[in-house]
Amino acid sequence: MLTNSASSPVDTRPTVSRRFSVAPMMDWTDRHCRFFLRLLSKNALLYTEMVTTGALLNGDHERFLRHDEAEHPLALQLGGSTPADLAACAVMAQSAGYDEVNLNVGCPSDRVQNNLIGAVLMGHPGLVADCVKAMLDAVSIPVTVKHRIGINGRDSYAQLCDFVGQVREAGCTSFTVHARIAILEGLSPKENRDIPPLQYDVAARLKTDFPELEIVLNGGIKTLEACHEHLQVFDGVMLGREAYHNPYLLAEVDQQLFGSTAPIISRAEALAAMRPYIAEHIASGGSMHHITRHVLGLGTGFPGARRFRQLLSVDIHKTKEPLALLDQAAQLLEGR
C-alpha cells in the first residue's frame, strides 16, 4: 500500500491486488453490477463508474459514494483536474471506505474534454502530477492513474514516458494502461474503444523501462487464457466490455489467477444469491430492471439463453410479479 505524508491518517486496510480488475464503465459498473460481479469473484478489483469532482462536491455525494460492503476490494474512479478538488474527493472516498482512488486520464468524450477531464490530460502531465500529489498528501489509500498510451498530436513513446515519469515523480506507483491512443477529434468514445489499434508492445516497453512501477494492461482482453499470457509481462490485467457482456468469465478468475481452491459458483447459484438483494431493492421502491440488466450476460451460450434474456429484459416490464419472473429465469440456468 502507498504511504503518504506524516499527517495522513493511518489506514489498516489490506494491500489492494490489481492482478485482475474490471474496468470502470459509465452506465454499467454501478453498485448493482458490482454486487453481482463480486458473487462471481472474491478477488477481482472492482471500479465504480467515473464520478466527477463536481458531482461529489456540489451534488449528492452520499448517493455517488454508496456501495455495499460486499463489493470490496473496491476503487473509486474520479474525473477532474483541480488538485484541491480531487484531494477533497479522495478524502471523501477514504472516509466512505473505498480501497483505492483512481484518476481518469483515458476518457475521450467531448463533454469531459471541455472540462479538462479524461484523455485530454495526457497533454498536461505536470497538471496530472500535481493532482496525484494533492491526493496522495490527503489520504493513505492508494492513488492510481488510468491512461491511454497517447492522444492525437502527442502520441510518441517519448511523450508517453514523459507523462509516466512526471506522474511517478509525484508519487504514483500504479498505472493502468489502455493500450490505444485516443483520437480527441472526429471519433466518438465508442469508436475510440475500437478504431485506434491496440499496441500491447508499447505498454510492454513501458513496463521494461519503468520496472519499479506496477503496470496493469487494459484494452481488448477477452479470455482468461489471454490474461495468463499478459501476466507474463504485466503486473495485472483489466477487462472491460468482455467482463460485462460475458460476466461468467469471472467465475474462474479466483481459481485460475489467484490460486483459490473454493468451488466455482454456477450460473444458477449466482442468480439465486442475487435474489435477496433484488427483493430488498424492490421492497425499497426500486425496479428489478435496475439490477437484472446487469445479469443478462449470464444467459449466453446454451439452449434457453435467448429466453433467459427475454424474460429479464422484455417481459420484466410487463409483469406485476417480478420475483416470480426471476425464478422462472433461474430455472433456465439449472445445470448450466
65, three cell numbers = 459514494
Helix orientation angle between 31-40 and 267-283, rounded to the nearest 10 degrees = 150
Catalytic, 33? Answer no
Cα Dmax for the chain:
60
Nearest Cα to Cα of residue 6 among 95, 142, 137: 137
Peptide bond into 125 cis (omega under 30): no
**Which residue of the set 33, 107, 131, 172 is catalytic?**
107
Assign 3-class secondary structure to the chain.
CCCCCCCCCCCCCCCCCCCEEECCCCCCCCHHHHHHHHHHCCCCEEECCCEEHHHHHHCCHHHHHCCCHHHCCEEEEEECCCHHHHHHHHHHHHHCCCCEEEEEECCCCHHHHCCCCHHHHHHCHHHHHHHHHHHHHHCCCCEEEEEEEEECCECCHHHHHHHHHHHHHCCCCEEEEEEEEECCCCCCCCHHHCCCCCCHHHHHHHHHHCCCCEEEEECCCCCHHHHHHHCCCCCEEEECHHHHHCHHHHHHHHHHHHCCCCCCCCHHHHHHHHHHHHHHHHHCCCCCHHHHCCCHHHCCCCCCHHHHHHHHHCHHHCCCCHHHHHHHHHHHHCCC
Active site residues: 107
